Amino acid sequence: MGRLLVIGTGLIGGSFALAMRNAGCFAGIDGHDSDHMVAETARRLGLIDSVVTDLRGAVEAAEAVLIAVPTSAIATVVRQIESFVGRRTVTVFDTGSTKASVIEALRRRGAVPPWFVPSHPMAGSERQGPEAADAELFRGRRVFVTPQPETARAAVEQVRRWWAATGADVVETSVQIHDEMVALTSHLPHLIAFAFMNWVARPHGGDAALFAGPGLLDFTRIAGSDASMWRGIIAENHSAVLSQYDGWTEVFATVGTLLRESRFDELETFLAAAQDARARLSDA
């Protein structure tokens, strides 16, 4: 067993570290964060064993490196690790919510290293930082792995095993399918929920809290997510999000037409199809 280095010791990095500690996958866990206090907090909470100041030394000592930083910074960290790795064997993987932007940023500066396995755990929380870390955060969640043609198969298998050890359900897919589907099932719903909260909370909009039932609270829960993080995700997956936005807006406009023209029979047929689709989603 070697050492794990976690770069970015917030909610996701900290939760992975904790899950690996519980699963006993590594001899020790080092952590680094661009905000030194975040890494110190992670150490104090027992998520990592030590805070890394010498990144080169830590990479040289590591069997695995998890990059759990904002998506826009991932390619830079991969290139930095590359400069430290030399001919050593190391397995590096990330947690970025979008994959094409990372791969494109890497390709702008050469080939994708064979030891780098792009991955994305579909898990999170409205809470942030190492204080919110949870060893069970990934249990029962999907983790997508999107290997490139140059990715070493052994590295992919290794990364799949580590994610599986967190209790996650690991699925391999392509970068394109991944980014389109998360734009549909995650990024667009976040945009709608954020916008809906602004509509509900508009000035003179009335006392919405008085009229808020459990349905509204569930519907808008994801609007409690971190605005800065979501700006990043949406910017990184811009074209896929825009395409989903346009398609969805067209569907919703047909609802407006049915409503305006009091075509309630057709509206009911539309609602019934949605009710069935939601039942299938629950069953799946």
Map the footprint of its own copies across residues 174-213, applying CB under 8 A. Answer: 177-178, 180-182, 184-186, 189-202, 205-213
- List the interface residues with its own copies, window 216-245 (CB under 8 A): 216-228, 230-231, 234-235, 238, 241-242, 245
Other CB atoms within a 10 A radius of the CB of residue 89 amount to: 11
- How far apart are CB 268 and its own copies at their closest, in Å? 4
**Residue (86 or 214) nearer to its own copies, CB:** 214
- List the interface residues with its own copies, window 121-150 (CB under 8 A): 122-124, 141-142
Q: Which two tokens stand for residue 39?
A: 């890494």
**Residue (79 or 141) nearer to its own copies, CB:** 141
- How far apart are CB 12 and its own copies at their closest, in Å? 13
3-state DSSP assignment of residue 14: helix
- How far apart are CB 128 and its own copies at their closest, in Å? 11
- How far apart are CB 260 and its own copies at their closest, in Å? 6
- How far apart are CB 57 and its own copies at their closest, in Å? 36
- How far apart are CB 181 and its own copies at their closest, in Å? 4
Contact by Cβ (8 Å): 36, 11? no
Q: Which DSSP string corresponds to 72-105?
A: GGHHHHHHHHHHHHTT---EEEE--S-SHHHHHH
Q: Which H or E element spans position 116?
A: strand 116-117
Please give the size of the binding site for its own copies, defined by CB under 8 A.
Answer: 87
Chain centroid to CA 159: 16
Q: Tokens 């050593």 appear where?
A: 88
Q: Which DSSP string corresponds to 194-231?
A: HHHHHHHTSTT---GGGG--HHHHHHHGGGGS-HHHHH
**Residue (50 or 220) nearer to its own copies, CB:** 220
For the chain, report the end-to-end CA distance as a whole number of angstroms.
37
Angle between helix 100-107 and 175-182 (nearest 10): 140
Chain centroid to CA 202: 30
**Residue (122 or 132) nearer to its own copies, CB:** 122
**Residue (34 or 239) nearer to its own copies, CB:** 239
- List the interface residues with its own copies, window 66-95 (CB under 8 A): none
Q: Return the residue of 24, 86, 87, 251 that touches its own copies, per CB under 8 A.
A: 251
**Residue (18 or 222) nearer to its own copies, CB:** 222
Q: Return the residue of 55, 61, 165, 267 that touches its own copies, per CB under 8 A.
A: 267
Counting contacts by CB under 8 A, is residue 257 touching its own copies?
A: no
